[in-house]
Amino acid sequence: MGTQAPLYRTLNPDRTDPLLARAAGFLEGSVIAGPVRVPGSKSMAQRILAAASVARGLTRLGGLPSSDDVVGALRCARALGARFPEGQRPDDPLAAALLRSGGEGQIVGDPPSPEGAARPWARLEPGESGTCARLFSALGALARPEGSGSEVVPAGTLSSRSSGPLFEALRGAGAGVEPAGAPDRWPALFTAATPRDSVELRHPVSSQEVSGLLLAMASHAGERRLRVLGPIPSRGYVDMTVGVLGRFGGSVRAEALASDTAGEAGTLFTIRGPLTAPASPFACEPDASAAAVALAAGVLTGGERTWVDGIGTGSLQPDVAIVPCLQAFGCSVEGSGRDRLVATGTPSRGARIDCGPFPDLAPVLAAVAAFVALRGLGGSALTGLETLPGKECDRISVLATGLRALGLGVEQGSASLTISDEPPAPGGRREALQLNPEGDHRMVFFGALLSLFEARIVCLEPGCVRKSWPGFWKDLAVAGGRLCSS
């Protein structure tokens, strides 16, 4: 993390808005407590929009967040042929794409037709979202009429991220796949085909690859099988996809694939389609990743009762695991249940947590671990971080750099972070810190959480929270955060 601010563009010279500021953080004395408003789940919204774009009929939506990643999914859905009634413009982010009051809207799908003529060329612009790129690459390749062409054009760091197993699976399913630059990366050109009865995905690098194939195969009538060889990273996100498909009338059955050959065991998915728009509106529940940030903010600023409504411990979103994780650090989560997540008390001990099923919690848990270590209450270890280097930045390295800047001892592994139980020496680092998130929204959340309990910390590029939580700074300020920005 450097101390020099990157060039930050804005159309408005007023720097009082954190989204337009050079740096932002919270002041000492902030107390986050009570109900905290969080946006709808961007992970769920992207899956809902992907399914609705290839489902028969009109899907009524509610609770969609206005984040950049969801706007990218709306653009891709429209490019593939979905229609948005009532003059909505999902290709225009400034028009808040489909997102009216409460995130309500309608989408009419364009399901694949075996007898249909090839569709016009489609340019899909997922922004910087790996989820969106993988879901809609699969739909462009396997959920359009034979011979239809599409191009997935990335933005930002997405062009440096690869998805070789997905590209190879699409080729094996009969689609044409031609990367325009580096192999296995976007931008890439796809020529659509009807998927074969059995498709194989070998050693996926992301659960999103599995989800994309399940969505594409379920868009067709009849039964098909997807063989996934090797472990599925963050498997809970596949379960979320299966849940969404069930609302659209699709079905997915999973069973273990045994093998005596190393690396050949896996999972067999049996998929049945087609997809049909649900009769009742599909409401997107609050975002569990954002709820985790909110609850952590509460326990790090005094431990008064803090809660998020509309999402409970039974949610399919993997990040509801924040509840047992905060318990592991010594906090109370009494009151959490079907429709509410609650946390009270301050962290009182270190913890060892396997983040493999919920890697997006790693930045939040790293901030909690820092709080504990700085007070001499114990060390912590976060494991299962294999997917973090392939995100918007190398998250393991950025987290380690930030923790070391606080004077903490940190051991950084290829898939782990270990925070020492030795607090910094008295009279150590007291200089102001400008934490550079390297354009990653989750690193901004990490820096913001640190600023709640460590004086004189600000996070550069505060506006990149638009990717998942555009109202982050204001929502936490309403809940008690005292904001500073420059």
Each residue's pLDDT tens digit, 121-140? 999 999 999 999 999 999 99
Q: Residue 456 pLDDT > 90, yes or no?
A: no
Structure tokens at 214: 């399940």
Banded model confidence at residue 16, pLDDT cuts 50, 70, 90 = low
Question: Could you tell me if 161 and 208 are in contact, meaning their C-beta atoms sit under 8 angstroms apart?
Answer: no
In this predicted structure, which of 120-134, 340-354, 385-399 has the lowest mean pLDDT? 385-399
Query: What pLDDT digit, counting tens, does each position of 52-111 carry?
Result: 999 999 999 888 888 889 989 988 998 999 988 765 554 443 344 455 445 677 889 999
User: What's the chain's length in residues?
Assistant: 486
Residue ranges and CATH numbers for the domains of the chain are 18-39+285-485 (3.65.10.10), 42-276 (3.65.10.10)
Residue 357: the pLDDT is 94
Is the Cα torsion angle 17, 21, 27, 33 positive or negative in sign? positive
Partners of residue 60 on adjacent β-strands:
106
Q: Residue 350 pLDDT > 90, yes or no?
A: yes
AA identity, residue 98: L
pTM of the model: 0.91
Q: Residue 2 pLDDT > 50, yes or no?
A: no
Banded model confidence at residue 15, pLDDT cuts 50, 70, 90 = very low
Of 154, 149, 136, 134, the C-alpha closest to 190 is 149
Q: Mean pLDDT over residues 344-352, rounded? A: 98
Residue 93: the pLDDT is 39
Q: Mean pLDDT over residues 276-288, rounded? A: 95
Distance CA 378, CA 173 (A): 51
Query: What pLDDT digit, counting tens, does each position of 216-269 carry?
Result: 999 999 999 999 999 999 999 999 999 999 999 999 999 999 877 777 889 999
Residue 469: the pLDDT is 94
AA identity, residue 206: S
Question: Could you tell me if 307 and 35 are in contact, meaning their C-beta atoms sit under 8 angstroms apart?
Answer: yes
